[in-house]
Structure 1
């Protein structure tokens, strides 16, 4: 438990970026919802939330923890669960993309679940390439300081380590799959990826 009395860890810290992708009334899919903190915050912000996780145990714990929140808890794999395509206004994922067997396939699936004009937000892990080590070393100091000051809450979701791709590979793969996406490194050992699915105007011209 965090020393403030509220659960805190780096994933929970970066949930705020993902909540910012949605507006009240948005239909949101939280992919790999884990212990449900992000889904609960989205529901509190007035979103219609579907929370998906492939681990039945962690999903049940999330359902119990957030029984007072209006969230649709769904057990399943995002790659195969029979969601209707282009059915969500917002798709978000925190620390889950590296769990999928293929990052490109995962991004394509998240893209296809978004309606035109919808927003994708991903906070993720990646491995360090040679150019990543300076920022990662500085970030490691920040992580130690944050965990010491705040107290680190241990999540109950499965851990996959190491991530399959480096930060550079994630940057290149996401740029190829999601033209025009925004990508940046985050100081506390994560990356931030956001993208708005283009709308198609008559004649096939795309607009954001």
Structure 2
């Protein structure tokens, strides 16, 4: 077990700008995708269950994180359903989660409980491992994504919970035009001397 919990500043420095940036970008991308989904399929979006919506958002987050972090040598992505984890070096393990009131919720499986409790790294028992939840803050009333967040859990407690800097989305999904699709414009250039032209 960790003898002393690391501060947010220590964790931010340990994770590095690429990991922190990838989390913020994934939230921006998911927020954009959710807006497009609601605009294109409003009836379907309105009928979506909370759990189904959360699963879809989680898929969007993970896809964005993979695009950002796959090339980073110090990062290992564990993509084994139903668990998505980000390993940074040997010291940090992150899970992508929805945060409500600074906390994450999940079925209390042994795997979830083990992750939430700070402690030894199973692969290297002599080393401590910092386990973090990253993701987004969820507004229950409006069913909307607000800010990217990171939290340090310890059992049922949250040692700290911090908001990350928001960024612009990296994806620009095609939003449907209110006036419908536009036909392409084809320009035809007429050459008065078409038969007598020579290659120039």
- Is TM more than 0.5 here? no
**Bigger Cα Rg:** 2
